[in-house]
Amino acid sequence: MIEKTKKRSTFQIGLISGKGGVGKTSISSSFGVIFHELGKKVLVADCDVDAPNLGLLFQSGEVLEQKTVQTTEKSLFLPELCIQCKRCVDEEFCKFNALSWDSSINMPVVDSIACEGCGACYELCPEHAFEIHAIDSGTISHERTKYGFDLVWGETRLGAQTSGKLVTEIKKIVNHTIEANNLELAIIDGPPGIGCPVIATVTDLDYVIVIVEPTSTALHDADRAIQMLNQLRRNYGIVINKADMWKSGYDIIVNYAKKHDIEILGEIPVDMTIPQAIVNGLPVYTFNPQSPSSKALKIITRNIVNHFLS
């Protein structure tokens, strides 16, 4: 499945998995450190906006920029306009169950977590006693890690449903930073699943690495991610994490890759150094560059350099 992408000044690689918890963030963090050590002008971004933790492994550094983004809309009830007809609740204006009646004040209340900002309450209320307005839905931070390369990451706020839009905002900052600093490489840690945030992550990337473990659930979810990548016409390959965990599962992945003509960029063994590194809040390559997983990660980065960056 590797198409030799034409050499460009910047190459953007995403890591996704379909399933969460298969080692994406551990691998992304070490990639950043190894590529930096190899002399590549690299930037790392965390687009797993519902559970960002790449910054924890880099123990964050100097904050260069931090901003709040408004990508979510919610309904605000305007009691001064309400004539207490109760139609909004009796006629079920809200299909998201975000409207209920508060008998103590004889007026409706909006559940801002459940509200999707669809605007039906505003349209249907005879007095238009609602206002649809943008709310703070997440934050984006641009930091300089202690290693010297930049990290861009975002985090959704509780109740904000538009994490795909937040990912798009992160990628705008990534692209701006790449351009402003003439960077060669971006490593993008993607969200799990195959929903909007993942699609927003992989759109326009040069290459996507699908991390898969030899378990039936991980392969099932990786297969769904691969189908999505095919639909989006992305270039991609596989890295097998915990490759020696289950021989039959490993064989299934290898046969799957052969059948679908997918490049296996490398494999990482089961290595207790990885959880130890996480406990210490460090990329495994920083924690112990001689560990079996660090050596495997270095081989994979060399494969990436040979394929795309040399």
Binding-site ranges for ligand SF4 (CB under 6 A): 75, 82-88, 93-94, 96, 98-99, 108, 110, 115-121, 125-127, 129, 132
Rounded to the nearest whole angstrom, what is the least distance from the CB of residue 116 to ligand SF4 in the complex? 4
Query: Is the Cβ of residue 116 or residue 206 nearer to ligand SF4 in the bound state?
Result: 116
For 89, residues 6+ apart whose C-beta sits below 8 A from its C-beta are 99, 100, 101, 108
Please give the structure tokens belonging to residue 114. 């459940």
Query: Is the Cβ of residue 83 or residue 105 nearer to ligand SF4 in the bound state?
Result: 83
Angle between helices 292-304 and 24-37 (to 10 degrees): 70
Rounded to the nearest whole angstrom, what is the least distance from the CB of residue 162 to ligand SF4 in the complex? 13
* 166, 156 Cβ separation under 8 angstroms: yes
Rounded to the nearest whole angstrom, what is the least distance from the CB of residue 85 to ligand SF4 in the complex? 4
Rounded to the nearest whole angstrom, what is the least distance from the CB of residue 219 to ligand SF4 in the complex? 38
Query: Is the Cβ of residue 78 or residue 196 nearer to ligand SF4 in the bound state?
Result: 78
* Token pair 């999707």: residue: 116
Query: Is the Cβ of residue 28 or residue 161 nearer to ligand SF4 in the bound state?
Result: 161
Rounded to the nearest whole angstrom, what is the least distance from the CB of residue 165 to ligand SF4 in the complex? 17
Query: Is the Cβ of residue 28 or residue 75 nearer to ligand SF4 in the bound state?
Result: 75
Give the single-character DSSP code of 307: I
CA-wise closest residue to 131 among 71, 73, 72, 75 = 75
Query: Is the Cβ of residue 127 or residue 179 nearer to ligand SF4 in the bound state?
Result: 127
Buried b (16+ CB within 10 A) or exposed e, 75-91: bebeeeebeeeeebbee
| Dist. CA 46–CA 36, nearest whole Å | 17
| Dist. CA 241–CA 214, nearest whole Å | 8
Query: Is the Cβ of residue 122 or residue 250 nearer to ligand SF4 in the bound state?
Result: 122
Cα torsion 79, 83, 84, 90 to 10°: value is -110
Cα torsion 176, 179, 183, 186 to 10°: value is 40
Rounded to the nearest whole angstrom, what is the least distance from the CB of residue 12 to ligand SF4 in the complex? 36
Query: Is the Cβ of residue 127 or residue 136 nearer to ligand SF4 in the bound state?
Result: 127
* 198, 19 Cβ separation under 8 angstroms: no
* Token pair 């097998």: residue: 240
Rounded to the nearest whole angstrom, what is the least distance from the CB of residue 114 to ligand SF4 in the complex? 7
Rounded to the nearest whole angstrom, what is the least distance from the CB of residue 156 to ligand SF4 in the complex? 18
